[in-house]
Structure formats: structure tokens, C-alpha cells
């Protein structure tokens, strides 16, 4: 329309634009046209790309979980040795994985650069006059607590600290030793003088426990409680000694857990003796069990972080995880073999647990190193080094660097590890897992706890079951109501009424779900809890009342019947439904008294059905309410668009209206109805706020309608804001978002395709 405007620019001479002006105009118009084409094109494609990005990004965030674990040999250097020689008792790394420390059998602690092996300071512990180091103990890596045991039967606990200071923005670390129980070695046990061959130390809430074993099978144990004087800062140590029953064989290794409840002694015959030390005055043996096959020996044993799980390496190369499991009676906890890992060819010589996770490294006598993860019960990676027996290993707190010292070779091998998400195997996420401290393998979702040595339980099964449970109960309510309503509205209802009903029900769809959830949680849940019989009476009375009024209507006088046109049944039913509703509600207490001893809630509990106030029923009601309009709207369209000549033909052949509905309308519209149900189901699966507010959000695995659940969507809403970016938990949450996305996307696409085919079919009919 405004193409002609350039006229106004014309010169006085001619009324028409001259050739040059026309040329210019044409150029400008072509340019504008191109601009429009490419502008619209690029932003259109940009939007599509942005939407695709959702898929790509969610996938990108979950991808690192699938990344393969790698273990690569880095540098190797000669073992740093001091003036006085000795073999390595232990290796550690500091928290930046920069400084390695080597504890030698001469009581020296040598610090060295972890990557190059360059020597740094060496610290010497006070060794008692005339005594030699005969035993060494380490506590959990994160506590950095160690103990030396000497040939005169004394023990020296020590801690290694890495204080840091900054000079010109550069970090400097000067390692130092501290002695929590004093610099003087302590005698434990009553028999002085017998050398300790094995030693254990643990720091728990009540103080320190030190236990030592001798060749004769004796175990001495002492507990130390320290109190710091507020005024002087002096540390007071109180000790308490215990004697444990003597073993038949020499003590090979002692392990203590930091709950200060159990002591495990492994003897040279491969037997594990588990002691209950809760009653400190009278420690007792709970059981003695064989850990390895007859004739084999336990060559390495270590507790995982949290000191609940015991990893046992045998001379046959086997690696097994054990922990205490409550027995049938529930009174005593017995050591139980939980799982076995890929065995080594040679004898297991060393086990090194990770700092904060349930993973561990093992080394064998043939120079192979393997990385395992307990929770997901997998051997992630193995690496063959020089064929030298592995003596000692250390793994850094970031789980990305390990030092391996081979016997005889005098070399330390640096191993670089990339293993950020060891827990997320298929079986770890979807299978039953036997978690520490549980009685049996289970599906559990429990992502965090106050304790940092906690074993994260990331089973997606409870969440998926919860999602399905919520969606299922919602569909149970919504599908019949919505489909039946749709059939009536599309086929039987009079036109003026349909004009009101359809938009009203569709308006429901726009109702924010947060409001539905709020009403369900605050109003409906307590109401239903106090009036449970309405569920039964409602389910029975409503259909009955409707049928009865239908029957009565046929008996009504002709005059009245003729005054109402067909298609107004629903309107006539309004008073019936209201009246029935009133009866249902007000009869509730009477029914409770008559059939349920006065309280149906209590009756359910007595019968053995657990009842939560916010449960699947409430979620089903509220979410069903939210899903009804979705299903109704699509199904109604499908039924309404069934070509009229089909139904008219059927009626003309003498079928009753209902026979026509069943035989013709539903048959033709069934794909549309099916796609309506699918879309409704998709909506129920992804709904967040209703579930968040109307269910208890407890991730349980059952289909009890009177208990709550936790769904994938609600779980994301609850946990994602609080998790650490990039952690396994974070990525698992992204994975659950991805699962939701794919699931609903596929469901919707299938529904859309079905609908399109239906539309085509209608067009051809």
C-alpha cells in the first residue's frame, strides 16, 4: 500500500520517477526484502537452536558421568631416602596433592614434592632409647592421625599438619608434626616389654583409642580422653585400660571403627575376631569368622572412610567387602560378606581407601594396581606397572593422584586418575544396592546427610516409582471423568450448554498448580484424614444417585419430560450431585462409628495400613483435577470432529445413541482419546508443585495409596538449589531432568503423530 510513497520525492519536471530513481527504489526494496528474509530466517533458526540447546545442554551436563575412568602412569622417581635408611611404612599426600610424605621404619617422616620427588624437609619422631619401630597404624586418611609402635611395647600417636601461609599471593606449606597425647611414647596394656606387631588408632567422639597386638595373640587396648584447660591451654590426658581375650594365633592386623564400638582383629590364620567394645569394662568376642578360603591368608585389610566397611585382600588375590549387618533377631550385628570385586592375579599387598568416598585402590604382588568403588560394586580400572610387588600407595584427597611404591625397585610411580563419578553405574542408579549399615540390598534415595563420610544413596528407582505412582493415581481419577465428560459434551450436550462448559473446563487448565497444591495440602489433606469414609461412600453413591435419577426421569410425567430438551441431563444432575455430596459428607461420622470403631484413620492403622496425612490419594485427587482439562479438551475435540454422516448413518440404521457412541464414535475417535490420555499422563509425570505440596516427599518404594511419595520433578525442585555444582549428585539430578524431558517429549510426540493421522483419516472419511 505504501509502495507509491516515493512519488512525493519526484522532481518538478515529470510526474513519473525517472529511470535512476526507479533503479534506486527497486534496489532498496530488494534489499529490504532480503533483510526481512534473512533477518526472520536467522532469528527463526536461532529460536529453534535455542530450544534444541535444552536437550544438548542437559545431555552435556550428564555426559561426564559416562566418561571412562582413566589411570595413567605419570613420572617415576627414586624413593626419597634420608640419612638413616629404612623401609616405607606409609605414604600420604597433602590436600593440594603437592606434598608427599613417607613414613619410614626408622621413625622419620620425609616430605617430598609429589610430582617430581624432590626432597623437602625430614622430621624425626622421638624413638625410645634402645627400641625399634615394630608396628605402624594409620587412622582414616582425612584425620591425618598415625601411630608408631615400638619393640618395648610403647606407642606414639602423632598427627601431620600442613599449615599454609601466603607470601606475595604464593602458597607455602610447612608440614609439621603434632602429638595429641604428648611427645612421650605411651605404654598400653599391662604386660610391658612385649613388642607390638600390629597397631590401630582411632579418633572418635569420646577421644582416642589405641590398640596393639602381639605375636602371642594378646591384644591391649587403651582409651584416652583429652581435655584442654581453658585457662592455661594445657592438655590433660585421661586414660583407661582394657584387656581383651587372647587370640590363638599371632595378631596380624587390628582395625578400630570411629564409632568406638567395634574392634576387629585379624589373625595370621585368616580369621577375623570381632569384638564388642561398647561395654568398655568387659569387651567380648561376638564372633570369629574366616575371611578367605582355607589355606589362604589375609594379606591386606583396611576400613573405608566412615570406618563401617572392611575391605579384605587375600593371598589368592581376592578382594571382598564386609560390614556389620543386623542378624535375623535384630540383636547382634554380624560381619557379612557384601560383595566381591575383580580379583588380582597375585596376592593383594596393599589397600588404600579414598579420602571422602567409598572408593579404594588395591595393589598386588605382581605390580598391578586396581581402582574399585564399593557402593556401585565395580572395579573401575586396573593398571599394570613394572612387575614388582607393590608395597605402599597413597591417594590424594581430590582422588586424582596416587603414589605407588614398588618393593625392591626403590621407585615411586605417580599415577594420574580421572574418576569424578564412580557411583553412577547403571546398577548403582537402577539396581538394588546393599548400602553400609542396611540389612539387605535396597533401592534408596538419600542424597545427603550431615556426616561427610556418608554413603550417598542415589537410586533413581524410588523416584521413578514415586513419579509413576503419583501419575497413576491422578490418571485413575482423571481418565474416567475426563473421557466420559468429553463424550457427553461432544456428542450429547446441547449446544448452548457446551458453549459454557467447554471454556469453563479449559479455564481450569490455566489454574496455577501451586494453588491446587496448596489447597490439597492445607485444606483437602486434613479434611480427608478426618472424613475418610467419604471416599467409599462417594465412589458408590455418586454413580448410584446419577443412575437413579436417570431411571426416575423415565418414570417422570410426559409433560415434564417433554419440557426439557435432550442434552440437558448434566444440568439436571447438578442438584442431584450436590445433594449426594452433602449426604456423603454428613454421613461420614456415622459410617465411622458403624463400621470403623469410630475412626477410620485409626482403623486403617490397626489393620496394618500406614496412613500419612499427605499421601498418594491427595496427590491423585489434586493432580487428577489438574489433568482433567488437558485430557478433556483433546478428547472432546476428537469426539466432536467425528464426521456427522457416520453417526447419522448409524442412527438411521436403528442403533440407539449410546450404541452409536460405542460402535461408531469411540471407534473412530479412539486414537484421539488415546493421545489425550498420553498427553495427560505426560503432564502428570512432570507436575512439580502439587506433588511437592500435597505429598510427604518421602522417597519410598510402594504403591500404597495412603502413603506419600517423592517424584523426579519434586526431587529436582527440592535438591538442586542445594547441591554442589558439578558433583555426582548435581549430575544425577540433571540426569533425572533429562529422563523427564525425554519421557514427556516422546509421549507428546507419539500423541501428536496419532492425532495427525486421525485428522487425515477424518478428512478422508
Binding residues among 688-747 for another protein as defined by CB under 8 A:
688-689, 692-693, 713, 716-717, 720-721, 725, 733-734, 737, 740-741, 744-745, 747
**Distant-in-sequence, close-in-space partners of 552: CB < 8 Å, separation ≥ 6:** none
Q: Cα(202)–Cα(695) distance, rounded to whole angstroms?
A: 43
Residue 685 touches another protein, criterion: CB under 8 A: yes
Smallest distance from another protein to CB 599, Å? 4
Per the listing, cell 449410546 goes with 658
The rounded distance, in Å, linking the Cα atoms of 239 and 209 is 9
Q: How far is the CB of 564 from another protein (least distance, A)?
A: 12
Residue with Cβ nearer another protein (67 or 753): 753
By the rule CB under 8 A, 652 interacts with another protein: no
Tell me if 371 sits within 8 A of 353, measured CB to CB: no
Give the range of 207-215, 267-275, 520-528, 701-709 binding another protein by CB under 8 A. Answer: 520-528
Binding mask 6-45 toward another protein (x if CB under 8 A, else -) reads -----------------------xx-xxxxxx-xxx-xxx
- Residues 112, 118 contacting (CB under 8 angstroms): yes
Q: How many residues bind another protein (CB under 8 A)?
A: 123
* Distance of closest approach, residue 96 Cβ to another protein, in angstroms: 19
User: Counting contacts by CB under 8 A, is residue 57 touching another protein?
Assistant: yes
C-alpha distances (whole Å) from 389 to each of 71, 104, 339, 408, 691 are 18, 18, 25, 8, 57
On whether the CB atoms of residues 385 and 414 are closer than 8 A, the answer is: no
748 binding another protein? (CB under 8 A)? yes
**Residues 141, 307, 489, 675: which binds another protein (CB under 8 A)?**
489
Q: Name the minimum Å distance from CB 572 to another protein.
A: 8
Pick between residue 16 and residue 522 the one whose CB is nearest to another protein: 522
Please report whether residue 504 would count as binding another protein according to CB under 8 A: yes
Residues of this chain, 255-284, that bind another protein according to CB under 8 A? none
Residue from 132, 86, 130, 129 nearest 109 by CA: 86
C-alpha cell belonging to residue 655:
442403533
Is 247 one of the binding residues for another protein (CB under 8 A)? no
Q: How far lies 2's CA from each of 7, 170, 436, in Å?
A: 10, 70, 79
Min CB(735)–another protein separation in Å: 10
Judged by CB under 8 A, the chain residues 456 through 485 that form the site for another protein are: 480-482, 484-485
Using CB under 8 A, pick the residue from 288, 476, 569, 759 that binds another protein: 569
Task: Tell me which H or E stretch contains 462.
Answer: helix 461-487
Q: Is 760 in the site for another protein (CB under 8 A)?
A: no
> Which secondary structure element, helix H or strand E, spans residue 271, and what is its range?
strand 271-276
| Nearer of residues 232 and 554 to another protein, judged by Cβ | 554
- Among 27, 46, 241, 345, the residue binding another protein under the rule CB under 8 A is 46
Facing residues of 688 across strands?
Answer: none
All three cell numbers of 366, joined, read: 605382581
Is 542 a binding residue for another protein by CB under 8 A? The answer is yes
Closer of 364 and 719 to another protein (Cβ): 719
Q: Assess 604 for contact with another protein (CB under 8 A).
A: no
For 444, 597, 610, 689, the CA distances from 603, given in Å and listed in that order, are 29, 7, 10, 31
> Of the two residues 278 and 572, which places its CB atom closer to another protein in the complex?
572
Q: Which C-beta is closer to another protein: that of 406 or that of 679?
A: 679
Q: Among 652, 662, 667, 765, which residue sits at the site for another protein (rule: CB under 8 A)?
A: 662
Cβ 214 to another protein shortest distance, Å = 55
Alpha carbon distance 639, 486 (integer Å):
7
Please state, in angstroms and rounded to a whole number, the distance separating the CA atoms of residues 586 and 705.
24
Residue 83, all three cell numbers: 640419612
Residue 530 interacts with another protein (CB under 8 A)? yes
For the beta carbon of residue 35, count every other beta carbon within 10 angstroms: 10
- For residue 245, the 8-state DSSP code is P
Q: Please identify, using beta-carbon distances, which residue of 278 and 547 lies nearer to another protein.
A: 547
DSSP state of 91: E
C-alpha cell at 428: 548403582
Q: How far is the CB of 556 from another protein (least distance, A)?
A: 13
Amino acid at each position: 500500500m505504501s509502495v507509491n510513497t516515493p512519488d512525493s520525492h519526484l522532481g518538478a519536471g515529470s510526474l513519473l520517477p525517472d529511470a535512476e530513481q526507479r533503479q534506486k527504489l527497486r534496489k532498496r526494496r530488494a534489499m529490504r526484502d532480503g533483510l526481512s528474509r534473512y533477518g526472520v530466517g536467522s532469528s527463526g533458526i536461532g529460536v529453534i537452536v535455542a530450544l534444541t540447546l535444552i536437550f544438548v545442554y542437559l545431555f552435556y551436563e550428564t555426559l561426564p558421568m559416562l566418561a571412562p575412568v582413566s589411570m595413567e602412569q605419570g613420572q617415576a622417581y627414586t624413593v626419597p631416602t634420608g640419612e638413616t635408611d629404612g623401609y616405607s611404612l606409609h605414604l600420604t599426600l597433602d590436600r593440594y596433592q603437592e606434598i608427599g610424605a613417607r613414613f619410614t621404619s626408622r621413625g622419620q617422616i620425609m616430605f617430598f614434592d609429589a610430582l617430581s620427588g624432590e626432597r623437602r624437609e625430614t622430621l624425626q619422631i622421638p624413638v625410645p632409647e634402645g627400641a625399634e619401630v615394630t608396628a605402624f597404624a594409620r587412622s582414616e586418611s582425612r584425620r591425618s592421625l598415625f601411630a608408631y609402635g615400638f619393640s618395648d611395647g610403647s606407642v606414639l600417636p602423632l598427627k601431620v599438619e600442613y599449615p599454609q601461609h601466603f607470601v606475595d599471593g604464593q602458597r607455602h606449606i610447612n608440614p609439621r608434626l603434632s602429638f595429641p597425647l604428648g611427645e612421650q611414647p605411651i605404654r598400653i596394656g599391662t604386660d610391658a616389654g612385649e613388642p607390638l606387631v600390629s597397631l590401630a588408632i582411632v579418633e572418635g567422639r569420646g577421644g582416642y583409642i589405641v590398640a596393639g597386638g602381639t605375636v602371642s595373640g594378646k591384644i591391649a587396648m587403651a582409651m584416652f580422653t583429652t581435655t584442654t584447660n581453658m585457662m592455661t591451654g594445657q592438655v590433660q590426658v585421661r586414660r583407661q585400660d582394657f584387656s581383651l581375650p587372647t587370640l590363638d594365633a599371632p595378631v596380624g592386623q587390628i582395625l578400630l571403627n570411629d564409632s568406638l564400638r567395634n574392634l576387629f582383629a585379624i589373625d595370621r590364620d585368616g580369621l577375623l575376631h570381632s569384638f564388642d567394645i561398647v561395654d568398655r569394662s568387659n569387651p567380648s568376642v561376638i564372633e570369629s569368622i574366616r575371611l578367605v578360603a582355607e589355606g589362604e591368608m589375609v594379606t591386606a585389610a583396611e576400613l573405608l572412610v566412615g570406618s563401617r566397611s572392611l575391605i579384605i585382600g587375600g593371598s589368592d588375590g581376592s578382594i571382598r567387602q564386609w560390614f556389620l549387618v543386623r542378624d535375623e533377631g535384630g540383636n547382634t550385628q554380624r560381619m557379612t560378606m557384601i560383595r566381591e570385586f575383580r580379583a588380582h592375579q597375585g596376592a593383594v599387598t596393599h589397600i588404600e581407601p579414598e579420602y571422602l568416598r567409598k572408593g579404594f585402590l588395591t595393589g598386588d604382588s605382581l605390580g598391578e594396581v586396581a581402582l574399585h568403588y564399593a557402593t556401585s560394586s565395580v572395579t573401575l580400572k586396573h593398571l599394570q606397572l613394572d612387575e614388582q610387588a607393590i608395597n605402599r600407595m597413597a591417594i590424594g584427597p581430590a582422588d586424582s593422584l596416587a603414589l605407588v611404591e614398588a618393593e625392591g625397585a626403590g621407585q615411586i610411580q605417580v599415577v594420574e586418575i580421572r574418576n569424578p563419578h564412580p557411583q553412577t553405574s547403571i546398577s548403582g542408579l537402577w539396581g538394588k544396592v546393599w548400602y553400609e549399615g542396611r540389612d539387605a540390598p535396597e533401592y534408596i534415595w538419600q542424597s545427603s546427610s550431615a556426616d561427610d563420610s556418608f554413603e550417598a544413596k542415589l537410586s533413581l528407582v524410588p523416584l521413578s516409582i514415586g513419579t509413576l505412582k503419583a501419575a497413576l493415581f491422578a490418571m485413575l481419577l482423571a481418565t474416567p471423568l475426563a473421557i466420559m465428560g468429553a463424550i457427553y459434551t461432544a456428542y450429547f450436550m446441547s449446544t448452548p450448554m457446551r458453549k459454557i462448559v467447554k471454556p469453563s473446563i479449559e479455564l481450569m487448565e490455566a489454574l496455577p498448580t501451586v494453588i491446587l497444591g496448596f489447597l490439597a495440602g492445607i485444606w483437602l489433606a486434613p479434611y480427608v484424614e478426618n472424613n475418610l469414609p467419604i471416599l467409599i461412600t462417594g465412589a458408590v453413591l455418586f454413580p448410584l444417585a446419577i443412575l437413579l435419577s436417570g431411571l426416575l426421569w423415565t418414570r417422570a410425567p410426559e409433560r415434564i419430560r417433554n419440557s426439557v430438551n435432550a442434552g440437558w441431563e448434566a444440568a439436571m444432575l447438578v442438584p442431584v450431585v450436590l445433594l449426594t455430596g452433602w449426604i456423603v459428607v454428613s454421613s461420614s461420622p456415622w459410617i465411622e462409628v458403624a463400621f470403623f470403631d469410630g475412626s477410620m484413620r485409626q482403623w486403617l492403622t490397626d489393620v496394618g495400613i500406614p496412613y500419612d496425612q499427605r499421601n498418594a490419594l491427595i496427590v491423585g485427587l489434586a493432580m487428577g483435577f489438574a489433568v482433567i482439562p488437558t485430557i478433556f479438551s483433546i478428547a472432546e475435540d476428537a469426539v466432536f470432529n467425528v464426521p456427522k454422516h457416520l453417526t447419522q448413518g448409524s442412527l438411521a440404521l436403528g442403533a440407539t445413541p449410546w450404541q452409536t457412541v460405542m460402535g461408531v464414535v469411540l471407534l473412530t475417535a479412539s486414537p484421539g482419546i488415546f493421545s489425550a490420555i498420553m498427553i495427560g499422563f505426560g503432564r502428570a509425570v512432570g507436575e512439580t508443585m502439587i506433588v511437592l505440596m500435597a505429598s510427604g516427599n518421602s522417597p519410598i518404594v510402594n504403591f500404597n495409596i495412603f502413603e506419600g511419595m517423592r517424584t523426579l520433578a519434586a526431587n529436582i525442585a527440592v535438591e538442586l538449589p542445594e547441591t554442589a555444582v558439578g558433583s555426582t549428585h548435581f549430575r544425577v539430578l540433571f540426569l533425572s531432568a533429562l529422563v523427564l524431558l525425554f519421557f514427556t517429549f516422546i509421549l507428546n510426540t507419539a500423541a501428536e503423530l496419532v492425532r495427525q493421522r486421525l485428522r487425515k483419516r477424518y478428512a478422508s472419511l
